[in-house]
Amino acid sequence: MEFLVEFQVQVPVGTPEAAIDERETAEAAAAAELASEGHLVRLWRAPGENTVVGLYQADSETALARLLAALPLHDWMHVDVRPLAAHPNDPARP
């Protein structure tokens, strides 16, 4: 299944810069791992905003929730997940 995931990261006030850098580095490594496993297909961000949109693949919404919960920045994220279904006019459809 494919999912459109939109999230915003809100770092708690007073978080030390070193802790932010550490989590962001770990987040990049986790994203690379999800991509190599085929779960993270694409990521976009809205210019000038703190919004990120990703295309993910997982066996179910529950499986996706587990993947997202394991992200280093997860407890700083507001996440909105939308399951996607194929459209008959999708140019990528065989």
Give the pLDDT band of residue 49 (cuts 50, 70, 90): confident
Letter for the amino acid at 41?
V
Any idea what DSSP says for residue 50? S
Residues of the domain holding 34: 2-84
Residues with Cβ < 8 Å from 68, sequence gap 6 or more?
5, 74, 77, 79, 81
Within a domain: 91? no
Q: What is the pLDDT of residue 93?
A: 74
pLDDT tens across 51-91, in order? 999 999 999 999 999 999 999 999 999 999 999 998 999 88
Tell me whether residue 90 is in a domain. no
Q: What is the pTM of this model?
A: 0.89
Contact predicate 43/7, CB 8 Å: no
Q: What is the CATH number of the domain that holds 45?
A: 3.30.70.1060
Specify if 10 maps to a domain.
Answer: yes
Query: Could you give the CA distance from residue 88 to residue 90 in angstroms, rounded to a whole number?
Result: 6
Q: For residue 11, tell me if it sits in a domain.
A: yes
d(CA 76, CA 80): 13
The pLDDT tens digits of the residues spanning 3-18 come to: 999 999 999 999 999 9
Split into its structural domains, the chain has a count of 1
3 state SS of 61? helix
